[in-house]
Chain A
């Protein structure tokens, strides 16, 4: 069974740093495309970053240079290092496993963790 469990969310002051973790089970993180998505209180979903199995990564502009996605194969885990946090980074952060076709694009975010709350205040 595929499972994703996030942790690391906390109350942090503006300008601070935080590292979120996402431990996976039921599959190997390094073989998959993985992403982080956030949802501010009462708002919609916002994609943040993707890490491809080959190691490439992409970010949305608002977090580029502040957030870094990475993985630890030995721990089968995905991470999101967040620096220079702002009040508008307050949200529940989800990690997700992506489904994709061979040589084609990403189809969807097929598995999600339960989320971890980051409050910047």
Chain B
């Protein structure tokens, strides 16, 4: 199985901060990576797919980059609605696997 490791596990930040979350794959996954946002008690919500393609309707302050084994999700200017947990997911091979999640909390 491909292991996905996110860092950090928790991130404390303030409104307006630039935030970067890293996701590392245990082997190359090309660009078959997606990012999701999840709020407490809610289902995940797709933000980005194929590493860097923003889903329609997702604010442009979100961006994704990377390839192979290292990927990043960047929020250019953190907004109050962005405090949530973020998950990466590889879809290169079965079983599709997720990172353990990164909680972005208010500093």
| The residue from B43, B53, B96 contacting A47, defined by CB atoms under 8 A apart | B96
Interface residues on A, range: 20 to 34
Number of residues on chain B facing chain A (CB within 8 A) = 24
B32 / chain A contacts, CB cutoff of 8 Å: 105
| The residue from B46, B95, B101 contacting A110, defined by CB atoms under 8 A apart | B46
| The residue from B87, B94, B96 contacting A44, defined by CB atoms under 8 A apart | B87
Q: Verify B97–A113 contact, CB threshold 8 A.
A: no
**CB interface residues, B 73-107, toward A, < 8 Å:** 87, 89, 91-92, 94-101
Is A45 positioned at the interface, with any CB of B under 8 Å from its CB? yes
A-to-B contact residues, CB < 8 Å:
44-47, 50, 58, 60-61, 94, 99, 105-110, 112-115
B-to-A contact residues, CB < 8 Å:
32, 34, 36, 42-46, 49-50, 53, 55, 87, 89, 91-92, 94-101
